Amino acid sequence: LAHANGHTEVCNIFVEHVRASGCSSDLASPTATWASTASAGNAHALGESVPISEPASSLKDGADKTALLYAPLGLEGHVTCAPRTLASRQGLAEDPPPPENARRVEVLLSDSLGILKTDAFAGPSSVVQENGNVEGDAAASGVASSTRFVWREVRALAEVSDVLRVHEGRYVRMIQKACARLQPHLPAAPLPPGVVKDDGDENGGGMDGGAAGAIPSVQIGHLDGDTAISHSSASAAMQCCRTVIEAAEMVMNPSTNVRNAFCVVRPPGHHAGPTGPVCPGGLDSDADINTTGNGGGSSHGFCLINNVAVGASYAMHVGSRKYGVKRVAVIDFDVHHGNGTEALFGTVVPSTRTYRYSTPYGEGTTTTHVWKPWLNENDADNLFFASVHGYGQRGRGGWYYPGSGHTSDARGASRDDEQPNAAAVSGIPELVPNGTAEGV
């Protein structure tokens, strides 16, 4: 543990104590490695680095489990369209669902349709304990060791301190207040004539718990033309973050047998920068938020809180101390550029951010200084982000939202203090900017 956390002085003390006690022949790995590398005796004085060998293989040798974690509010709490729109599997022609809706979770988790509920993933009935091991029916039947996938439902919410490591506090409060203003329940809406509720339950009930012929409704608001929210959306986003954090814990913790993890979460997050939408001209642009250009405008792109960045910052900030984590990498693969995640990675080095504003009396700009390290001033050397996505320019064939992240757009770790607009983002949007809060 001393070695894993970089405490070389403590490591030296242990090594010298074990050698002095004459027990070195009984040392177990990796203590044996410590003793052998320090076998020169007093050649390494306290305070000097002991050349300890790194493990020959990767983190957590022998771990063979994949954890499947899911946040239930992604299905039952974050509502982006009229529930009746999803009542028919085909949707209603006059009221098509938006691309980001609860079906994204249902196709993975519903009992009748869920891919992750098939035999290939579910396996024997099992539960995931706090140590990440499989217990229950699987353990009782003696097949726990052959069960590759273990499950965990995460209902707790992330601590706001973990979220504020990457996002600005005012932005988080804006989302919370916008959601709190929306009604959590409206009278059940009847199904349109000729539409049959289709949720895999022959009796007409289903995942939403409604009666046949009627579907409970909620009030829906919008942060922009793309991004819809409901009363529980902020909680759902915080639950997503907690899910990713718990996945990171299960993978980092050497006492578990979990090697990797897959999280089923919504709302998504990779377009959410420090204060929401990323500047439309790209990360280095000082373009106005309303500039059309090649960017995605002021859209959140369905995203609220960047759960991946929250999990990555947790792995660096907490994992470095608890488990000796040295480096963290995020690989984003999606048809859209992960511009929000890239912007959040950019704030770990000192930078400035310029905003434009307009009043009835004139226009101007204001510049703020930004530095949100996840661990220390060496973050730039120990963090890596890459996005694989579609890219095109307006008027030149295909164009992909948000219009940033062109091929080989690479930036290294800059140590120059206050790099201008190293991670420029838009200003804070108004609470439900278009003023809409419609009941559906």
According to DSSP H, which parts of 269-408 are helical? 307-317, 319-322, 339-346, 379-382
**Average pLDDT estimate for 358-369:** 92
| 57: Cα separation from own chain's centroid | 27
Q: Residue 385 above 90 pLDDT? A: yes
Percent of the chain's residues with pLDDT above 90: 43
Higher pLDDT, 333 or 289: 333
Tell me how far apart the alpha carbons of residues 284 and 353 are, in angstroms, rounded to a whole number: 10
Greater pLDDT, 300 or 287: 300
Better-predicted residue by pLDDT, 280 or 328: 328
- Can you give the pLDDT at residue 4? 63
Tokens of 147: 């069960």
CA nearest neighbour of 167 among 272, 283, 285, 298: 272
pLDDT digits (tens, 9 = 90+) for 138-158: 443 332 333 789 899 999 999
Predicted pLDDT of residue 417:
45
| Stronger pLDDT, 223 or 438, i.e. the higher one | 223
Bridge partner list, 352? 369, 420
Whether 1 has a pLDDT exceeding 80, the answer reads no
Check residue 420 and give its pLDDT.
Answer: 39
Question: Is the peptide bond preceding residue 433 cis, with omega within 30 degrees of 0?
Answer: no
Task: Tell me the average pLDDT across 270-274.
Answer: 95
pLDDT band at residue 439 using 50, 70 and 90 as cut-offs: very low
Closest residue by Cα to residue 102 from 84, 120, 76: 76
The tens digit of pLDDT for each residue in 194-211 reads 555 544 433 333 333 344
Confidence band for 6, pLDDT divided at 50, 70 and 90: low
pLDDT at 105 over 60: yes
Comparing 36-45, 129-138, 293-302, the range with the smallest average pLDDT is 36-45
Domains of the chain: 65-81+100-118+149-185+219-406 (3.40.800.20)
The larger pLDDT score, comparing residue 188 to residue 232, is at: 232
Q: Tell me, what's the pLDDT at 315?
A: 98
Dihedral (C-alpha) 288, 294, 297, 303: value to the nearest 10 degrees?
-130
> What's the confidence (pLDDT) of residue 231?
96
Q: What is the reported pLDDT for 35?
A: 32
pLDDT level of residue 17 (50, 70, 90 thresholds): low
Do 407 and 154 form a contact (C-beta atoms < 8 A)? no
Tell me the pTM: 0.71
Highest mean pLDDT among 92-101, 198-207, 294-303, 332-341: 332-341
Answer whether residue 29 shows pLDDT above 80.
no
**Partner residues linked to 369 by β-bridges:** 352
- The pLDDT score that the predictor gives to residue 401 is 87
d(CA 234, CA 173): 9
Residue 407 CA neighbour count, 13 Å, CB half: 4
pLDDT, tens digit, 9 for 90 and up, residues 243-263: 999 999 999 999 999 999 999
Among 149-163, 364-378, 388-402, the range scoring the smallest mean pLDDT is 388-402
Per-residue confidence (pLDDT) for residue 405, from 0 to 100: 87
- pLDDT class of 182 with cuts at 50, 70, 90: very high
**Which band of pLDDT confidence, cut at 50, 70 and 90, is reported for residue 188?**
low
Sign, CA torsion 416/420/425/431: positive
